[in-house]
Structure 1
Amino acid sequence: AKEAGKRFGVEYVVLDNHDGELMPTLANRLKIIREIRKWDADIVIAPRPNDYHPDHRYAGILVQDAAFMVIVPNIAPEVPALKKNPVFLYSEDRFQRPNPFEPDIAINIDSVFDQKIYAMSAHESQFFEWLPWLSGNLDNVPKEEKGRLEMLAKWRNNPLSNTTMVCLEKWYGEKKAAMTQHAEIFEICEYGSQPTIEEIRKLFPMLPKKD
C-alpha cells in the first residue's frame, strides 16, 4: 500500500485492521473521524455499504457514519472538529441491491491511466496472487513487470457503461465524452456536504471550465 502511494505521489496511511476482521465499532468510527479531521479533508471517498466483502461494506458504513460527526466538537474532542462537512463520495461498484450505483461526477483519466495501473500493480499479492488464484488463473500470471502491467491494464480496460457516458457528457460535453476511454466516477453521499456544480469544478480542477 505504501509503495502504491509513492507511485501516485501521495501520502498513504494504513490503519491496523486485519483482513476480514473489520467491524463497524464505535472505536473504529472514532479513528476514521480523527483521520478525516487531521487531513482537514475537502473530499472523502469510500465504497458504498453494499458489497460482497464485509471489509468493504463496513469501511463504507464507518465512513458514512463519520460524515457529519466530523463537525461535531464533542465527538473525539482531542482533534479539533472541522468547520465544514466534507463532500463524501462513493466509488463505483456493480451491485444492484438494494439500489444501483448512480454516478454524479465523472472524471476522464485517459492521460493518467497508465500511472493508475502502475500504482495498482504495487499491490502484488492482491492482483497477481489472490485474484488470479480466485479465478483459477494463477498459472497464467506473467513473471515480468511489463507483462503484469499489460495484464492489469487489460483487466481494467472495461467498456464505459451507458450511465457513465451520460455522466461524462454532463461534465465534458457529448464530443469529448465520446472520445473518453477511461473514467473514474463517483456518487455523492447524502450525508456530506452537497456541492454545487461550481464547487465540484473547484474540487476537481481537471474538469473543463464551463462554456
Structure 2
Amino acid sequence: MKESLDLLIFGAHPDDAEIGMGGTIAKHTEQGLRVGVCDLTSAEMSSNGNVETRRKEAAEAAERLGLAMRSNLELPDRGLYLLPEYVERIVLEIRKWKPRVVFAPYWEDRHPDHIACSKLVQEALFNAKLRRYIPHVPAHTVQESYFYFINDVIPPDVMVDVTAVYEKKRSSLKAYRSQFEAAGAGNDYVHTPLNQGYLERVEARDQLLGQQRSVPYAEGFISKLPYLTNLF
C-alpha cells in the first residue's frame, strides 16, 4: 500500500502548480511533509515544446521541489470538460493517495483549462467521500481544500510566507525551459506570453502579496469555507 500524502495539488498542465504555489510546496517538503502533484494533461497543445519535453521538465521540477510523487492523468489538453469519466479519474487519484489537503486552481482565470480543472476537482472532492460512488474503492474525505492563483489574482483568504524557500520556486519554474526561456528561437519557436517576461510577473505578484504582511514573498489562496484556527 502506498503512503498517503499530506498535500495533493492538481493542475491542468505541468507548471501550473509551480506557478501558483511552488514556494508553498517547497516549504512543506522541507518540513518533511509528503507532497504530490497530479497534472491532468500533458500540455500537448502548448505552442512550444512537446509532450516528451514537458514530461522531462515536470520530473526535473518535481525533483527540485522534493515531491513525493507526480502523476499525469493524460486527459486532453484544451479538452477538459465536466465529464463523469474525468471526475472519476480524479476521484480515484484522491482515494489512491488519501491526502489531508487538496489544492486546485482558482475557479476564475483567463485560461479555460484552469477553470475546468478547478470545477473537476471540486466535483471529485465531493464524490471522493461518497462510499456508494465507485464502491469497490474505499471512500476518502479530504480535510481541507484551497485554491491557488495562476494568472488572475483577487485578495486571498490565506497567505503563506515563502520568502525562505523562494529560490526553490524560481528553480522549479526554470526547469520549464521550453515554456519560459526566450532564447533558442527557431522554426518551431513561437513568442507567447509565457516567454515574454512571465516569470518576472509571477515574482512581482508574489512580492505584492507579501507586501500586505511585510514579508518579501508570499503566495495566496482562496478557501470556500471560513479559515478555522484555535489560537490568535
Same fold, judged at TM 0.5 (above): yes
**2:136 equivalent in structure 1:** 78
Q: Does 1:90 align with 2:142?
A: no
Spell out the pairing of 1:100-139 with structure 2 (5 A cutoff): 101-128=154-181, 133-135=191-193
Equivalent residues, number = 168
Q: Does 1:67 align with 2:125?
A: yes
Please say which structure displays the higher CA radius of gyration: 1
**2:228 equivalent in structure 1:** 196
Q: CA deviation at 1:9?
A: 0.9
Output one character per residue of 1:47-106: Cα deviation in whole Å (capped at 9) or x when no partner.
122222121111010011112221101112232101x333111102564xxxx7341211
* TM-score, L = length of structure 1: 0.68
Q: Does 1:30 align with 2:30?
A: no
Q: Aligned to 2:170, what secondary structure does the other structure show?
A: helix
Distance, in Å, in 1 between the alignment partners of 2:135 and 2:81 is: 23
Distance, in Å, in 2 between the alignment partners of 1:132 and 1:109 is: 32
Higher share in strand:
2
Does structure 1 retain, via aligned residues, the 8 Å contact 2:149–2:220?
yes
Q: CA deviation at 1:13?
A: 0.7
Does structure 1 retain, via aligned residues, the 8 Å contact 2:87–2:121?
yes
Does structure 2 retain, via aligned residues, the 8 Å contact 1:33–1:76?
no
Once the two structures are overlaid, the 10-residue window that deviates more, 36-45 or 153-162, is 153-162
Higher share in helix:
1
Which amino acid is 1:186 matched to?
A: F
Q: Aligned to 2:146, what secondary structure does the other structure show?
A: strand
Does structure 2 retain, via aligned residues, the 8 Å contact 1:8–1:115?
yes
Unpaired runs of at least 5, structure 2: 1-57, 183-187
Paired-residue identity, %: 26
Cα gap change, 1:101/1:136 in structure 2, threshold over 3 Å: closer, same or farther?
A: closer
Cα gap change, 1:156/1:54 in structure 2, threshold over 3 Å: closer, same or farther?
A: closer
Cα gap change, 1:77/1:181 in structure 2, threshold over 3 Å: closer, same or farther?
A: same
**1:204 equivalent in structure 2:** none
